[in-house]
Amino acid sequence: MINACLLIIGNEILSGRTQDKNLAWIAAQLNETGIKLAEVRVIPDVEATVVGALNECRKNFNYVFTTGGIGPTHDDITSACVAKAFGVAIERNAEAEALLEKHYTREQLNEARLKMAEIPVGASLIYNPVSAAPGFRIENVFVMAGVPRIMQAMFDGIKNELKGGEKTHSRTVAAYVTEGVIAAELTAIAEHFANVDIGSYPFIRNQRLGTTLIARSTDTAALDLAQAELKKMLLSFTDEVVDEDLASA
């Protein structure tokens, strides 16, 4: 199983000021590529913390993606931290500078904006079709913007560089039966299908309590069998079972 870690870098996420929207989008994209998002860390704009997390995660996961901290202001420290983590210099990248020169007028392209062309030595650029200032890749670490629209455009550009394993598929069943009622039977099914990961998620919908069961596996045959068993099990408690995720209120 190829896995990945996402580092969400930014005080604004930790303070609760900004609701992260990148985790779910990246998770879905990685899944399409056969890569499992195995951990996410939200960390502050503090050099020692960012460098430490980068070095720990790039060893422990096949891929590391970062979002945030590559803009022109004083609190954008991600690129410098990546250089430090890899023990390389950070320098004005000619290709990145050319991209900024095309995007900005000569007057607009001040020192602060040129900071966005400071890239660790040895990195390759990740293009930004929205606002020019690039991200970059160094070894297994992909450094992207925090703004979702920009991050998504960057990710689209590097998607074909990612080597995934088998894709994880999922099957969903749900019913108006609570977790506590079905738990014993559910455990038996989960134990029977060793290569299927079954998650149980309670919900409240129209004042009725229920449970959504989501089975995930790379083995679609096992998945179909597991779904049939889950459905049969739910039907032993209620007549009304659906194949959709009845989300939590």
Question: What are the residues binding a copy of itself (CB under 8 A)?
Answer: 10-20, 23-28, 31, 37-45, 49, 71-76, 104, 108, 110-113, 115, 147, 170, 179-184, 186-187, 190-191, 197-202, 214, 216, 245, 248
Cβ distance to a copy of itself smaller for residue 43 or 82: 43
Give the 3-state secondary structure of 111-154.
HHHHHHHEEECCCEEEEECCCEEEEEEECCEEEECCCHHHHHHH
Cβ distance to a copy of itself smaller for residue 88 or 222: 222
- What's the min distance (Å) between Cβ of 41 and a copy of itself? 5
Cβ distance to a copy of itself smaller for residue 88 or 216: 216
- What's the min distance (Å) between Cβ of 151 and a copy of itself? 12
Residue 163's Cβ-count burial label (10 Å; 0-12, 13-18, 19+) is exposed
Cβ distance to a copy of itself smaller for residue 122 or 180: 180
Helix (H) / strand (E) containing 198: strand 197-205
Q: How many CB atoms lie within 10 A of CB 215?
A: 24
- Among 160, 106, 102, 111, smallest CA distance to 131 is for 102
- What's the min distance (Å) between Cβ of 116 and a copy of itself? 8
- What's the min distance (Å) between Cβ of 39 and a copy of itself? 6
- What's the min distance (Å) between Cβ of 40 and a copy of itself? 4
Helix (H) / strand (E) containing 238: none
Which string of b and e fits 73-111 if b means at least 16 CB within 10 Å?
eeebbbbbbbbbbbeeebeebeebbebbeeebeeeebee
Cβ distance to a copy of itself smaller for residue 53 or 138: 53
